Amino acid sequence: MRVICAPDKFKQCCTAAEAARAMAQGVRAALPSAQVTELPLADGGEGTLDVLAGAFPQRRTARVRDALGREVEAAFALSADGRRALVESAQACGLWRIEEPDRDPLRASTFGVGQLVAAALDAGAGELLVGLGGSATSDGGMGMAAALGARFADSNGNQLAPSGGNLHQVRSIDLSTIDARLKRTRVRALCDIMSPMLGERGASRSYVVQKGGTTRTMHKLEEGLAFLSANVVKAGVRVTGLEDGTGAAGGLGFGVKAFLGGELEAGADAVLKTLDFRRLAAACELVLTGEGSFDPQTGDGKLVAALAVEARAAGVPLVVLAGVVQPGVELPGVTAAFGISPYGARKQDCFDAAPANLARLAASVVRLLNSRK
């Protein structure tokens, strides 16, 4: 049996590489003769730099601000010829950098992402890929643009500090001072979700709670993002926040499109294409994947949804092993989905036991499929 172990990361628990290793151990334990390929994946969020290290082998670092303005060391990467750069926004404004009690999307800013973009331009890159996902922010890219020279002012003309909480005060935007190098640089955003920034499926409504916000926070951010969108249009940029992908990373997709002139695409699709997954899938008999939660948001462009399309096209079973599987979620191309966490177990215990549980479930799936032969 030829098996590909191709999971996403399990947030607060294990990286995609650790999850792939655990799955592979389970497969080999159940069927020592199996040919196993470990293929950790990402969708534009944290881990994208590691997953695409083959295409972007030159790792660099820069001192930037995290979502709360603290100085941190963040990584970006260049292609072998130095012409293309991969910036993972989660390196700067990632939720993983912020302890739960400190998370606050009203205070948070994407300023550090702009600093990473500037560092990539300083390194000589003429094309930028910006991975979006896993952010602690919901500022519509205001911070990123400010770091690159854009100016945001209130009704009195006073310059605003970039943050989610200041969005509702934005009354004018000056893009004339933004880094001139961006005009001759192609920018592509790899979005972990393809939702819009505004509306019922928008960034603030869907993800504000995991960023530390409340219902009241959600309404304030929605209003602020709408003000930002209106002033972007007033500044002569035709981006409304209703476009697919603009909601990625708390509206950072909107910022990339509006302020950097970037293109938005599904990050999972781009990663799978770069890794030539279709060719790999055609030569295997089972694909095992996984994520922290298999839920209705999975279908909004998440990695598992992209894998389902590829597996279905290749005629290969795709089995999802997730921390949590919500009832009623069905995606064409997903053969089965199993929750790895024991019923009633404490959250931290589930995190600690995730690798062992992934190995156990992977072994069970392989034994079941192999029993049919």
The answer, as to whether pTM is greater than 0.75, is: yes
- Catalogue all structural domains in the chain, each as residue range(s) with its CATH number: 2-41+276-370 (3.40.50.10350), 48-268 (3.90.1510.10)
What pLDDT tens digit does each residue of the chain (373 aa) get?
999 999 999 988 899 999 999 999 999 999 999 999 999 999 999 999 999 999 999 999 999 999 999 999 999 999 999 999 999 999 999 999 999 999 999 999 999 999 999 999 999 999 999 999 999 999 999 999 999 999 999 999 999 999 999 999 999 999 999 999 999 999 999 999 999 999 988 876 778 888 998 888 999 999 999 999 999 999 999 999 999 999 999 999 999 999 999 999 999 999 999 999 999 999 999 999 999 999 888 887 789 999 999 999 999 999 999 999 998 888 999 999 999 988 778 888 888 899 999 999 999 999 999 887 6
Residue 16 near residue 8, CB atoms below 8 Å:
yes
pLDDT tens digit string along 190-242?
999 999 999 988 876 778 888 998 888 999 999 999 999 999 999 999 999 99
The C-alpha atoms of residue 362 and residue 319 are separated, in whole angstroms, by 9
The C-alpha atoms of residue 48 and residue 65 are separated, in whole angstroms, by 20
The C-alpha atoms of residue 54 and residue 57 are separated, in whole angstroms, by 6
Q: Bridge partners of 131? A: 88, 190
The C-alpha atoms of residue 257 and residue 2 are separated, in whole angstroms, by 41
